[in-house]
Structure formats: C-alpha cells, structure tokens
C-alpha cells in the first residue's frame, strides 16, 4: 500500500461521520455494547486507543459489531501496527509520524491517519503521498484558527482535528474547508462506560452525528 492509497482509504473512512469517537476502554467486556451504542447513534467509525492492556481485545470485540469501522489509535511502533492489524483494526491513527511507522503501515496494508501539528510536518507527509492527516493536539496547537492558517498555503491537505475537541468547539473545526471530521472522547464519557449507560452514550452519539 502506498501513501496515496492509504490516504484515499483513510479519507473515505473520515467522510463517514462528522465525529470519530476516541475511546480509552479498560474492560473488554464493555467493548461490544459500547460500539453498538455508538453505531446506533450514527457514529460508526471508532478509534480504540492502545493506551490500556485491554485495547487489543477491545478492538477484537468491536470488530464484530455490524456497521462498525474499527481503528487502532496511538500507533507508535511497527509492532503496534502488526498487533492492531492482527486484532482486526481496519485503519490506524497516530499522534505523529515516523518513517518506521509509515513503512510498517504501508507494508501491512493498514490505512493510517498520521498526526501533524505544523506546516513542516504536514508537508513531509504530503511528500510521501499523504493528504489526509490528524491535527494533534488540536486545541494546544492553536485550535481552529491555527488549522485555518495552515490550510491557506496547503489547501490540498485535509485534517481530522483531535485533542481538546468538544461538543462546544467542534463546529468551529467542522466549519473549516480543510476539515473532514473531528475526533472526540466526549461521546463516550468514562463514567457512562463504567456504569454501562449505553442509552446515554447513544444519545450523545446522535447529538454529535448531526454536527
């Protein structure tokens, strides 16, 4: 898989819904009902971050949910990529991008949404064929005004801002011409996941899906 092919597939995934839930799940037993609630609410693209020991099992469980498109977030090493692909992830997300990580995703055929926070990082990825990127950490990097400014000289690049994105500020990102979708964790609050309050999560997903 080339960078161009990876970016084309990642762009198709990002165009599915305006918000991509960014999920930190500690208990694999909660994975399927959580994914079902988000999909039912209109958010089928799910990013499971590799930040918990259960993450790969969570991906395995969510990959079985009808209508879900499950990806692995926080990919950092080539081993992360192989493990995520084996667990059933259909795309990957990374906070940044290294040549090793890009090469591993291309070799494994795993479409990657690579992270960039500056014009130089974005241009390096563009030179390798990637034109769909994650803007991270979005709010800490200047928020929507910064992303709009980066887009002026680089209109051929599209972004999914993540990091500090909320229900209140998501519209300011989604209103930009260089933003396809945004990633956010507010649609699956930790307390709701712990309590198994899937109805609340489905309601939050429905609200986010209309942004």
Is 61 tagged catalytic? no
Name the nearest CA neighbour of 96 among 72, 127, 75, 126. 75
Q: What is the Cα–Cα distance from 197 to 11, expressed in whole angstroms?
A: 31
Preceding peptide of 137 cis, ω within 30°: yes
Q: What is the Cα–Cα distance from 22 to 182, expressed in whole angstroms?
A: 10
Name the nearest CA neighbour of 196 among 12, 15, 9, 29. 29
Is 108 tagged catalytic? no
Name the nearest CA neighbour of 19 among 178, 146, 161. 161
Kindly name the residue from 30, 61, 108, 134 that is annotated as catalytic.
134
Residues 6+ apart with CB under 8 A from 187: 19, 21, 38, 41, 43, 201, 204, 205, 208
Kindly name the residue from 36, 47, 61, 108 that is annotated as catalytic.
47
Name the nearest CA neighbour of 192 among 59, 25, 8, 16. 25
Residues with a catalytic annotation lie at 47, 134
């Amino acid at each position: 898989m080339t960078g161009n092919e990876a970016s084309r597939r990642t762009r198709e995934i990002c165009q599915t819904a305006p918000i991509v839930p960014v999920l930190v799940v500690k208990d694999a037993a909660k994975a399927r009902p959580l994914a079902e609630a988000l999909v039912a609410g209109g958010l089928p693209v799910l990013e499971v971050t590799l930040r918990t020991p259960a993450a790969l099992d969570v991906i395995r469980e969510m990959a079985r949910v009808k209508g879900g498109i499950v990806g692995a977030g926080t990919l950092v090493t080539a081993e992360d990529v192989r493990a995520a692909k084996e667990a059933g992830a259909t795309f990957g997300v990374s906070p940044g991008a290294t040549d090793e990580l890009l090469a591993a995703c291309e070799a494994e055929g795993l479409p990657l949404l690579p992270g960039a926070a500056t014009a130089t990082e974005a241009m390096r990825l563009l030179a390798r064929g990637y034109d769909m990127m994650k803007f991270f950490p979005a709010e800490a990097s200047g928020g929507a005004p910064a992303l709009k400014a980066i887009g002026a000289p680089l209109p051929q690049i599209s972004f999914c801002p993540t990091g500090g994105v909320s229900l209140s500020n998501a519209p300011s990102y989604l209103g930009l011409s260089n933003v396809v979708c945004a990633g956010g964790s507010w649609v699956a609050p930790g307390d709701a996941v712990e309590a198994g309050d899937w109805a609340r999560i489905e309601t939050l997903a429905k609200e986010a899906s209309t942004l």
